[in-house]
Amino acid sequence: MLGKSRPQNVNQVRAQAYRDLIRREAKIGGTLFGTLPNGHRREFFCLDKHTWVWHEEWSDKSGKHHIRNTRYDVRPTGVVKIQDGRGYQALSPSEARNLRDAVRLYYRKVMNDLYHQTV
Amino acid sequence: MKPLFNLETLPAGLGVESLRIGDLSEAMEYLCRVIEPQIQDAPLAQYPEPTSNNTAVGLADVISLDDARRRVLAAGQPAPVDQPDTHNLMSKNGQSTAHQDPTQPSTEDTSPGATIINLADHMQQPLHDAAGGSQSAQVIDFQQHQIDNARRLASNAATEDMTFAEILQKAQNG
């Protein structure tokens, strides 16, 4: 029984460690776009080869909590945007350029700050 | 920032960090390759590519339209016509710059700190709309003191030789 549970535990540890790395990257990614207003929480990260995620949370003046998830799907034919799981939107050329630049900055900063590798 | 876990305490041989680095590298390269045709659709693509030394903090791939204008004018080519869909036409205080004379020197700050704001302008837009702000795609939701702070830091960076990380840290700390 112990022999069976051990590999599962190793896999669980690996999966948890991988998710934790993404969480740390997300915090670094959230710092790339300037100062956040008070009460805002922002994360930007690479989920996998085909998915980049922008997550933002904030409360408005009435105290109502808002969450906005923006997912960028990378497809062979181009990148599309899905906000809060509703529909697909094409990227304007300027947004495409900004996303590319943000991804490059994210890669450099994550590699340098988290993985201590110079790129 | 409190670490979510300690890399040093991971069991040896898991290779999670290497796995993630490989996945991230692949994802970054894939996106850059796929998205390039979408970027090339932009009229800005006609401008000269930025040189590798146009900033001190590694933002050489980022270039503003005003910077591009200056390069074109310096090269003696005709100034470009504004394209409404390819550039943020509103300044940070909500004033339109769509009819700005491209032959006049721009007052917009294209220093590294300002470049960070330019990135945020577009990314921030959905948030503003969701918060009940204007539905206009051109309204920017930045507070003036944040912009001023970022510009001041960027200006100082040139003389203090600050790193990108330091600029970000200072901007966040206000």
pLDDT in tens, B89-107: 223 333 333 333 433 444 4
pLDDT of residue A36: 86
**Average pLDDT value over all residues in chain A:** 89
B143 to A113: CB separation less than 8 angstroms, yes or no: no
pLDDT of residue B21: 95
pLDDT of residue B107: 43
pLDDT of residue A97: 92
Where is pLDDT greater, at A74 or A87?
A74
Quick one: what percent of chain B has pLDDT higher than 90? 12
**Average pLDDT value over all residues in chain B:** 53
Residue A104 CB partners (closer than 8 Å, separation 6+): B28, B32, B61
| Residue B152 pLDDT exceeds 60 | yes
- Cα-based angle B73, B75, B81 (whole degrees, multiple of 5): 40
Q: Mean of the pLDDT values across residues A20-32? A: 94
Residue A5 CB partners (closer than 8 Å, separation 6+): none
Q: Residues of A numbered 48-77 whose beta carbons fall under 8 angstroms of chain B's beta carbons: which are they?
A: 48-50, 52, 54, 56, 58, 60, 66, 68, 70, 72, 74-77
ipTM score here? 0.90
Tokens of B82: 């504004």
B39 to A13: CB separation less than 8 angstroms, yes or no: no
| Residue B25 pLDDT exceeds 90 | yes
CA distance linking residue B84 with residue B82, whole number of Å: 6
pLDDT of residue B157: 57
Name the band, by pLDDT with cuts 50, 70 and 90, for residue B74: low
Choose among A48, A60, A101: nearest Cβ to B61: A101
Q: Which run of H or of E encompasses A47?
A: strand A41-48
Which residue is closest to B125 within chain A, CA to CA? Answer: A95
| Residue B42 pLDDT exceeds 70 | no
Q: Are strands A65-75 and A41-48 parallel, antiparallel or unpaired?
A: unpaired
How does DSSP classify residue B10? S
**Å between A52 CA and nearest CA of chain B:** 9
Q: Does A79 touch chain B if contact means CB atoms closer than 8 Å?
A: yes
Query: In angstroms, what CA-CA distances link A79 with A22, A75, B118?
Result: 21, 6, 20
| Residue B139 pLDDT exceeds 60 | no
A17 to B10: CB separation less than 8 angstroms, yes or no: yes
Q: Which residues of A83-105 are buried (b: 16+ CB within 10 A; e: fewer)?
A: beeeeeeebbbbbbbbbbbbbbb
| Residue A10 pLDDT exceeds 70 | yes
CA distance linking residue A99 with residue A115, whole number of Å: 22
Q: Tokens 């790129």: give the residue.
A: A119
Alpha-helix residue ranges (DSSP H) falling in B16-174: 16-40, 65-74, 112-130, 144-160, 164-173
CA distance linking residue B92 with residue B44, whole number of Å: 21
Listed ranges A103-117, B86-100, B105-119; the one with the highest mean pLDDT: A103-117
Secondary structure percentages of chain B, helix, strand, coil, to 5? 50, 0, 50
pLDDT of residue A7: 55
| Residue B48 pLDDT exceeds 50 | no
pTM score above 0.80: no
**Is-contact B20 A18, C-beta < 8 A?**
yes
